[in-house]
Amino acid sequence: MQRQPIRPLLLALAVAMAPLVLQLPWWTVAWCSVSWGYLILRDRCGWPVASRGVRLTIFIVGMTAVLMFAGLRFDGGDFITLLAVMAGIKPLEVRSRRDSMVTVFLAYFLTITSLFVFENLSMTIYLFVSVWTTTGVLIHVNDPTGPLGRQLKLSARLILVAVPLTGLLFLLFPRLSGSFWGSPWAGQSRSGFSSNLRIGDVSRLVLVDEPAFSVTFDSPVPDAHRRYWRGIVFERFDGTGWYPASRQAARRGSIGGTDLSRYTVILEPHGQRNLFVLDLPVTANAVATIMDDHTLTARRPIWQRFRYGAASFLNAMPHSADEPDDANLQLPSDRNPQTVALARRWARTHAGSDGLVAAALAFFKENGFSYTLQPDRLGIHAVDDFLFVSRKGFCEHFATAFTVLMRAAGVPTRIVGGYQGGRWNALGDFLTVRHSDAHVWCEVWQTGRGWVRVDPTFAVAPDRIDAGIERALAGETLLWFLGRSRDDLLSGLTETVSQTWEAVNTRWDMWFMGFSAEDQIALLRRIGIFAGRRSGWLLFMALPPLFIAGMILLGRLRKKANPKPLEDNVLRIYERFLDKMASAGIPKPLHQGPLDYGRLLMERHPALERDVDAIIGCYIDLRYGHECDADALKAFRLRVRRFKPRQAMAAGGLRTED
């Protein structure tokens, strides 16, 4: 039996799986490493293939491990794990060309999986490398004696030829609204705000220096202190954590205001439904709803990069439906007695909400509070410990303490979670908001003015709002990325390279990843094709299939115009016969001609004598005889196609299919 190219097959699998390594459980990576390491040693030392019983045992162990780690819910991440385990198992049983082909297609499946998991330019470029490598190995499997360098060049030419067709299908193939890529791989971990807020959550999120979303503006870019990105409103407090209102309804009516800002957001996947908009949103697109607390909510959780447009009034007017309810005054009865007592004293000595707000902010400013990512540990009366003992905290500490003080004094107050600020990319003309910009602030109800934003953090660390998180925490050692704010040459060069790549990647996301059905229709209209709901869409959907059919027809016409010699077809059919015998366990030795090989087959298995004698005879007549017409070639092809050596040898007699 012909020896299969184990090392090139492992190369294709390794290149295809490399992007998924950090998404896989550790045991899966170890599984593949051990399996592939053994195969390399086996190929070098000439060890035999593992028996069927051993391979079956390995398969059962692998599938059992996948099911155990997946649990009852089998999501997208578990499918990735299953593919990885199969990539470790399949090469162990590679014996024939068919097994090698299955392994190559498994590498293609892994490549496609990466395409659904990752959505960025660098990964798209890498996937072309993966397809190039796998296609080169596919060519090598079918031509094992050919030079690998020439086969990789052929693979590159095939990919280059396919690129124009890929671009045409991308532009013209009908799509549903939303991103072209992406899939709900629920098992993947995502960073961002969750549906509840506990003291310490935001300070941990700030340590994640990854983009949360990017924004392009169709109007002047707001100043840093006006860039409050509203995401989720927390109203219920149980003493340890904050939660949204139990019921949410869509906002009734519209709001007024000044300083209208229009912008487009590309949001990274975070697994929640909340979107982020500037305070306060006026309009949004059809895939999201503005709720009565002025947050923007998508119809489904965001498991893929999501693009949406919005408009906001930076100076919004009071809204008639904004009346507070009892939830905005609710406090647990058995928590933080010192804080409640202080607030009630203020309520007796200060008139109105303005005086109470001023008293709380002055308390933060005048009593030695510090803004830090390394606060002290708090007890069951967390707000008391923070206000009267520790006095060190992050934005959620100040927002929680301020809200408890205001509610205890009788002022309706709530917490808003989102992001504040963002880093402007001058090369790409867009704003990048990172998880390190995460922030929470408060809203206080004031009669005649509605909900008014109050940011207690500003009283202690004004640099956080005006200059960003990097300047406010310049002395913290936990934030490794604070080096971006230094003014030395190396930091400046690093920042330039980073912003250049970020600009290229974001523009790619905006155009390629965000190319929606609406963008597609607009493109067709610009080139003079109207894709309406009925007849236009029929034409629109017919264009790609017609193009593909035209390319196939052109190829057939060229083949007819330049037909291959019949001798080449004869040899190809004979090689198909040799492949069948090799898969049946009797490969042709390299030194044997067709007659000697035919006698070898008939001696070992007399049941094959009639068909083998006829096939060898037809091959010799067509290949070396004087007659080589189309009818004889057709009969030869049909005889080889019907030849079933395994069935004949198993039954002890010749079996063919008519």
Contact (Cβ atoms closer than 8 angstroms) between residue 472 and residue 461: yes
Q: Which of 265-279, 404-418, 474-488, 524-538 is predicted most confidently?
A: 404-418
pLDDT tier at 164, thresholds 50, 70, 90: confident
What does the pLDDT look like over 114-148, one tens digit per residue? Answer: 877 776 778 888 888 999 999 999 999 888 887 87
Query: What secondary structure, in 3-state letters, does 273-320 show?
Result: CEECEECCEEEECCCEEEECCCCEEECCCCCCCEEEEEEEEEEECCCC
**Identity of the highest mean pLDDT range in 112-126, 133-147, 504-518, 540-554:** 133-147
Least confident of 75-84, 155-164, 647-656: 647-656
Q: How far is CA 645 from CA 154, 229, 428, 522, 608, in A?
A: 34, 70, 65, 58, 7
pLDDT digits (tens, 9 = 90+) for 192-207: 677 888 888 888 887 7
Q: How confident is the model at residue 487 (pLDDT cuts 50, 70, 90)?
A: low
**Residue 415, token pair as written in the block:** 């917490």
| For residues 384-407, average pLDDT | 92
Residue type, position 595, single letter: L
Rounded average pLDDT over 328-348:
91
List beta partners, residue 217. Answer: 263
pLDDT at 658 over 50: no
Res 488: pLDDT: 59
* Spatial separation of the C-alpha atoms in residues 55 and 65, rounded to whole Å: 15
- 187 has pLDDT over 50: no
pLDDT digits (tens, 9 = 90+) for 573-632: 888 888 888 888 888 888 888 888 888 888 888 888 888 888 988 888 887 775 567 778
Confidence of residue 450 (pLDDT cuts 50, 70, 90): confident
DSSP tag of 250: B
Torsion-angle region of 244 (φ positive above 0: left; ψ -120 to 50: alpha; else: beta): beta
Taking alpha carbons only, the member of 420, 354, 341 closest to residue 387 is 341
- Going by pLDDT thresholds of 50, 70 and 90, the confidence category of residue 538 is low
- The per-residue pLDDT for range 264-313, each reduced to its tens digit, is 998 888 888 899 999 889 887 777 889 988 999 988 888 777 888 899 99
Tell me the mean pLDDT in the region 63-87. 82
For residue 180, pLDDT beyond 50: no
pLDDT at 398: 93
pLDDT given for residue 562 in this prediction: 63
Confidence at residue 23, expressed as pLDDT on a 0 to 100 scale: 82
C-alpha–C-alpha distance, residues 408 and 23, integer Å: 46
Instruction: Give the span between the Cα atoms of 97 and 360, in whole angstroms.
Output: 77
- Up-side HSE of residue 62: CA atoms within 13 Å toward CB? 24
Burial degree of 163 (CB within 10 A; 0-12, 13-18, 19+): exposed
